[in-house]
Amino acid sequence: MAKHQVKRKFSIIEYIPIMFKAAYSFLLMRILKRKKLVNKQFKERIMLAVTEVNGCALCSYMHTKMALKTGMTIEEIKQILSGELDDIPNEEVIAVLFAKDFAFNKEKIDMEFYNKLLNQYGFLRTKLIIYIVNFITMTNAMGISLDLLKATLSFKHVKKSCVLNEILIPLSTLVFFPLFLIISLFIVPFMYLRLIRKNNE
């Protein structure tokens, strides 16, 4: 992907709720990690799929490195980042397609896709997939904003990008994300108990 040719530009108004969802999703991902619901490659495929749709060059670079460490091949990573799904294991295709649809529709969950996730993966794994896409969306927004800010400071301002958003998104992350994590510490135990109860129904 060419530098600065991002596919999506986030606004600060969009970013605040994305950041809050990412905070509780991060904590729930940590808790559910012990249940080994998804392996590292599966998680990276989901994150790369969201990153491909949003067009974050920084996240593409970072998650390429992380995916390689899980044993994924560079050819498979390139395919995902170019929008192709040929080499994705059959049992993971629905999750990757959901991740792409989630990003394409700006974090709106298509209930038809959600039901397909439930049928394929069960309740807990479905929720974990949603937490993963919530978290990578925040890091995509951060990476894109930083990349656009760097371009602006280098006098290569990208058309239709907003300098205010480029500044406010990183600053708001420093201020609000730790606060949202603290708030999430109080609500996540109840969310987790509810997850377990609903999973056992």
Question: Residue 59 domain-assigned?
Answer: yes
Number of structural domains (the chain) is 1
Question: Residue 36 domain-assigned?
Answer: yes
- Check: CB of residue 137 under 8 Å from CB of residue 107: yes
Question: Residue 187 domain-assigned?
Answer: yes
The residue range of the domain holding 165 is 14-200
* pTM attached to this predicted model: 0.93
Residue 2's pLDDT is what? 42
Cα 62 to Cα 68, 111, 188, distances in angstroms: 10, 31, 28
Whether residue 4 is predicted with pLDDT greater than 70 in this model: the reply is no
Predicted confidence band at 161 (pLDDT cuts at 50, 70, 90)? Answer: confident
Question: Residue 8 domain-assigned?
Answer: no
Residue 5's pLDDT is what? 56
Residue 195's pLDDT is what? 95
Neighbours of 63 (CB within 10 A): 25
Question: Residue 9 domain-assigned?
Answer: no
Question: Residue 3 domain-assigned?
Answer: no
- Check: CB of residue 166 under 8 Å from CB of residue 138: no
Q: Residue 55: left if φ>0, alpha if ψ -120 to 50, beta else—which one?
A: left
CATH of the domain at 36: 1.20.1290
